[in-house]
Structure 1
Amino acid sequence: MKALLSKHGPQHVSCGIVSSSRGARGSPNAYTNGCASSPREAAIRQCLYHLCKARNAEGAQVQFSLCLLAVTRNMDNSGKEKEAMALVAEADKKMKSSQSFFGAMFGGSSKTEEACDMYVRAANMYKMAKNWCAAGNAFSQAAHLHLQMQSKHDAATNFIDAGNAFKKADPQDMCLKSESADLTRVVQGRFTIAAKHHITIAEIYETEMVDIDKAIAHYEQAADYYKGEESTSSANKCLLKVATYAAQLEQYPKAIEIYEQVGTHAMDSTLLKYSAKDHFFKAALCHFCVDMLNAKLAVQKYEEMFPVFSDARECKLLKKLLDAYEEQNVEAYTDSVKEFDTISRLDQWLTTMLLRIKKTIQDDESDLR
């Protein structure tokens, strides 16, 4: 700071004008009253200037400028919020007048449209002021008005905007607001919008609120909506998320059903055929966590369904693990996993499943002893 001041001389910035601190223009009045838009603002400038000067005389002008900038920004936000509040009040007034007997007879629908526009403008003002909760509420009000006017696409858009605003304010609040909206009614025939909305909620539950059961429910709902649009690929992506969490929660039958379903779909597709082995591999591991014999029968079934699976490294690993399990050989099991990991890195999910299976071998060994 000292180097800056010694090089250029003490300066300050006020309302975009850079002025020297020397002479009359450097007096407190020049700094604090020069661009004040009101007596109140001038008083704030005076207090800030003297406070900064008392703390550090040499850098008073620079500190004053920084403080003034912060205050100005807060005042700008406050101004945006006031504009937004005025718009909401005007929109509320229009809605009340449109609902009266005479209002309904003379231009009720146009007043509803105007009110809707005002709510959206207010919401955007609140966004600029970073008042996310108020922005979400304004978008929600606009959405409900669009529903009244049978503008379902606009209503869905506003509900999503509201959800995004609530998400920034408070994830819990966002989920409550989003779930309270009757999306089935709002986006009837527009399943893709509903699916994306449920994915957003699911992601919040899995990352910010850590409620996996609710995340699963929303991914399943999203998958159903994608199926309604015959978007199988998008539906399967959601279902794979469900299978991943179901297996982690030891809901193995559910995970197996999904992995087999997605694997069967993939093996019939030229583009997705390569990924089928991964799905069957995960399904077999889930079987293994339940029972070794189940896993053995599953591997045989997958080889018959998808002959390419026999030559896959995943299938060969499964057979080695089955042999190690039958022999109750923990060392052979571990070596097989390590060998596989040197070429194909194991992710967290695979590591968890393989450790669970390994633990059953160790438990069986201790029982025999």
Structure 2
Amino acid sequence: MMDPSAKEKEALQLLAEADKKVRGAQSFFAGLFGSSSRLEAACDSYSRAANMFKMAKNWSAAGNAFCQAAQLHLQLQSKHEAATNFVDAATAFKKADPQEAINCLLRAIEIYTDMGRFTIAAKHHVTIAETFESDLGDVEKAIGHYEQAADYYKGEESNSAASKCLLKVATFAAQLEQYQRALDIYEQVGAGAADSPLLRFGAKDHFFRAALCHFCIDPLNARLAVQRYEQLFPAFSDSRECKLLKKLLDAHEEQNADAFTDAVKDFDSISRLDQWLTTMLLRIKKTIQGEEEEDLR
């Protein structure tokens, strides 16, 4: 069985070697006779040390060693290697210090965008967004990085990856009660899906979510939106989502909380509602008069 302390000891030796090589590369004679080979050797030692620290599960030390290798690669004008090391550092830091992982990915993104590698930059923006979302609980910052990723994906004609990121933005925007922002995205992605034979099946869900966002702003707008979606995508009329929306709109107009609840229960018994849909439907239900009193009984 591997002894973590032995691996850590080995890593520390490699770090000392790397530091020595860097100092040697900065000496007067190295300046005269070229220091790049010593710096390349130091990069290699830092990377090996980082991997030893990973085996010893010392994630912060691994991240720091990868960062040192990345900085030297930048000095040597080896941009691709530097970016790769920053990404490796981020992977290690993610287990110990999510914010530091984000900082490393931002350094990598800077290099990739400078090199015109926008698809890979977008991928790392998604990772940052996910880290803000799941590790740091900062939805606003997650939204910003999903939007940036979508922007880069669009520029590279990766439309399906862009839509995926935008749908995450819409999900969060609606949770934050930014309904107009959310419904604009759902309508845009829904219209694109309606025109594509491969994506048509998903269009009804996007229009369903857009209509619920409309409903949160103004029920009359929601009714007009449903009519618009039926014209834009005739298959929507026969969908269970469209039929549910019409029942909910009628129940709301009649201020009938029981009819509203029954319609939701019927739908849920066949197609399970996810957490987002449940939250939205509860928000809408609470706007029916008398609902608060009923909840208190």
What's the secondary structure of 1:168's corresponding residue? coil
Post-superposition offset of 1:272: 0.6
Specify the code of the residue in structure 2 equivalent to 1:152: K
Cα distance in 1, alignment partners of residues 103 and 200 from structure 2: 40
Residue equivalent to 2:111? 185
Structure 2 residue aligned with 1:102, among 16, 19, 29?
29
Normalized against structure 1, the TM-score is what? 0.74
What's the secondary structure of 1:205's corresponding residue? helix
Post-superposition offset of 1:342: 1.6
Cα distance in 2, alignment partners of residues 151 and 309 from structure 1: 53
Give per-residue Cα distances to partners, 1:320-369, cap 9 Å, x unaligned: 11111111111221111111112111111111111111111136898xxx
Residue equivalent to 1:343? 270
Structure number with greater Rg is: 1
Higher alpha-carbon deviation: 256-265 or 200-209: 200-209
Structure 2 residue aligned with 1:299, among 222, 226, 240?
226
Normalized against structure 2, the TM-score is what? 0.91
Identity %: 70
Cα distance in 1, alignment partners of residues 270 and 29 from structure 2: 77
What's the secondary structure of 2:286's corresponding residue? helix
What's the secondary structure of 1:189's corresponding residue? coil
Residue equivalent to 2:72? 145
Q: Does structure 1 residue 162 correspond to structure 2 residue 86?
A: no
Post-superposition offset of 1:318: 1.0
Post-superposition offset of 1:234: 1.1
Cα distance in 1, alignment partners of residues 75 and 157 from structure 2: 29
Give per-residue Cα distances to partners, 1:129-167, cap 9 Å, x unaligned: 111101001111112222233333222221111001001
Residue equivalent to 2:15? 88
Check conservation: 2:118, 2:153, Cα contact below 8 A. yes
Runs of 4+ aligned residues of structure 1 deviating over 3 Å after TM superposition are 99-102, 176-179, 363-366
Residue equivalent to 1:21? none
Cα distance in 2, alignment partners of residues 364 and 330 from structure 1: 7
Q: Is the alpha carbon distance of 1:106 and 1:122 closer, same or farther for their aligned partners in structure 2, counting shifts above 3 Å? A: same
Cα distance in 1, alignment partners of residues 81 and 164 from structure 2: 27
Cα distance in 1, alignment partners of residues 143 and 232 from structure 2: 29
Matches within 5 A, 1:32-43: none
Specify the code of the residue in structure 2 equivalent to 1:143: A
Q: Does structure 1 residue 215 correspond to structure 2 residue 145?
A: no
Post-superposition offset of 1:243: 0.8
Post-superposition offset of 1:292: 0.7
Check conservation: 2:257, 2:291, Cα contact below 8 A. no
Cα distance in 2, alignment partners of residues 363 and 223 from structure 1: 42
Post-superposition offset of 1:182: 5.6
Check conservation: 1:155, 1:186, Cα contact below 8 A. no
Specify the code of the residue in structure 2 equivalent to 1:277: K
Post-superposition offset of 1:213: 1.3
Residue-pair matches, total? 292
Matches within 5 A, 1:201-350: 201-350=128-277
Check conservation: 1:147, 1:186, Cα contact below 8 A. no
Post-superposition offset of 1:176: 4.0
Cα distance in 2, alignment partners of residues 105 and 216 from structure 1: 51
Q: Which runs of 5+ in 2 are unaligned?
A: none
Give per-residue Cα distances to partners, 1:113-134, cap 9 Å, x unaligned: 1111111111011111111101
Q: Is the alpha carbon distance of 1:94 and 1:334 closer, same or farther for their aligned partners in structure 2, counting shifts above 3 Å? A: same
Cα distance in 2, alignment partners of residues 246 and 363 from structure 1: 28
Q: Which has the higher contact order (CA 8 A, sep 6+)?
A: 2
Cα distance in 1, alignment partners of residues 250 and 152 from structure 2: 43
Q: Is the alpha carbon distance of 1:355 and 1:291 closer, same or farther for their aligned partners in structure 2, counting shifts above 3 Å? A: same
Cα distance in 2, alignment partners of residues 93 and 365 from structure 1: 71
Check conservation: 2:11, 2:49, Cα contact below 8 A. yes
Check conservation: 1:156, 1:193, Cα contact below 8 A. no
Q: Is the alpha carbon distance of 1:257 and 1:224 closer, same or farther for their aligned partners in structure 2, counting shifts above 3 Å? A: same
Check conservation: 2:86, 2:104, Cα contact below 8 A. no
Q: Is the alpha carbon distance of 1:340 and 1:306 closer, same or farther for their aligned partners in structure 2, counting shifts above 3 Å? A: same
